Amino acid sequence: MRTIVTFLIVFGVLVIVHEFGHFFFAKRAGILVREFAIGMGPKIYAHMGKDGTTYTLRLLPIGGYVRMAGLEDEETELSPGMPMSLELDGQGNVQRINVSKKVQLPNSIPLELIAADLVDDLTIRGYENGDESQEVIYTVNHDATVIEENGTEVRIAPRDVQFQSATIGARMLTNFAGPMNNFILTIILFIALAFMQGGISVPNTNQIGTVQPGSPAAEAGIEDNSRILAINDKEISDWNDLTAEIQANPGKEVTMVVAEDGNERTISLTPETTENAGQKIGRIGVGPHMKTGIVDMVAGGFSQTWNLVKEIFKALGSLVTGFSLNKLGGPVMMYQMSSQAASQGIRTVIYLMAFLSVNLGIVNLLPIPAFDGGKILLNIIEALRGKPMDPEKEGLITMAGFVFIMVLMILVTWNDISRFFF
């Protein structure tokens, strides 16, 4: 249960923060956000806000989306001959259009649709109450809603609130805002971690921080803020060198050259054996050197984010030179990581959230159709050409990208299941 709760919290925060970026800047650009969804698949809960956005919670915790007016694949299909019911406002204009068999509107008018224009003319034509001898035409309110076949109620999308009606700059910013929010969240989480642990670690020095009482380092007489100059005759220049040598020698005696107050001495100690991800590693009970100033901790949030970004780009580079599904992870991997983090405490959970957030931001900026980066690339092409791409071509490109991502997600998920459960 703890793992499930941790997974849902981490997943929920990442998706909400990412999608809120798109949502916020779409609203600022005058674009109608018809739906703000957390999760994918069947709807569990839906509520239409006063801002015209329907907020939904969906069954599958594998993502989320904002459904913006005017994007072709997000429009409600109204076809001739479709039965529906209309609810009118006080002026006799259509306020709600119901095409769902799951919802009944009291005092509504049954209509067999002939044609509807919910973009420019805002009219709907049809036969009322089954009477095909007389065609009726209704004016549709600019802020009318449609109750779709699955029961979700969303606003209609007149031309002036559609995505393509916004400026190219506003659309580009709307597409970029999701990843941007992930980077901001990562920085905030690393700053919070720095305050929780009382400082920011300094990995590029051989100076250690605190020594845990009762640990092998404490029993060997190593003091706080000492410098570890060498281990087994190998020079130690930073924290990574130190941890690599210690972890490689579980239960084996090592010789260390330690500097304290300007004096050097040689000591011997035996790292205790611990397990990490099924592997035995050594541990001596020392922490990294810390900077404890407020400015240092805030700056550390930025530097840690940047260091993580560089590591992710190195990992992406390794995918190009040697692709392997084992280098990728999906929801199952995220669940496994949540399980490990939940057992190690709140700090580990926060670090995991920061790690996944910056990963989500970078991956979404890759120039792949259906990703935010692919959409931004199309925005740039439109700006250079001075006119938008043909909607059919753009739709085909986006669909190809979507199919690619879905196939890759299925392969990654199956690979994760095979790795962790078989």
Residues annotated catalytic, as ranges: 19
Task: Report the distance separating Cα 409 and Cα 19, nearest Å.
Answer: 20
Do residues 7 and 28 make contact, with C-beta atoms less than 8 angstroms apart?
Answer: no
Do residues 64 and 19 make contact, with C-beta atoms less than 8 angstroms apart?
Answer: yes
Proportion of the chain in helix, strand, coil states, percent, rounded to 5: 45, 25, 30
Please state the φ and ψ torsions of residue 32, each to the nearest 5 degrees. Answer: -75, 120
Give kind and range of the element (H or E) at residue 403. helix 391-421
Query: Do the bridges between strand 135-147 and strand 94-98 make them parallel or antiparallel, or are there none, so unpaired?
Result: parallel
Task: Report the distance separating Cα 9 and Cα 13, nearest Å.
Answer: 6
Task: Report the distance separating Cα 199 and Cα 355, nearest Å.
Answer: 19
Helix (H, G, I), strand (E, B) or coil at 120: coil
DSSP string, 294-306: HHHHHHHHHHHHH
Maximum pairwise Cα distance, the chain: 104
Task: Report the distance separating Cα 119 and Cα 159, nearest Å.
Answer: 5
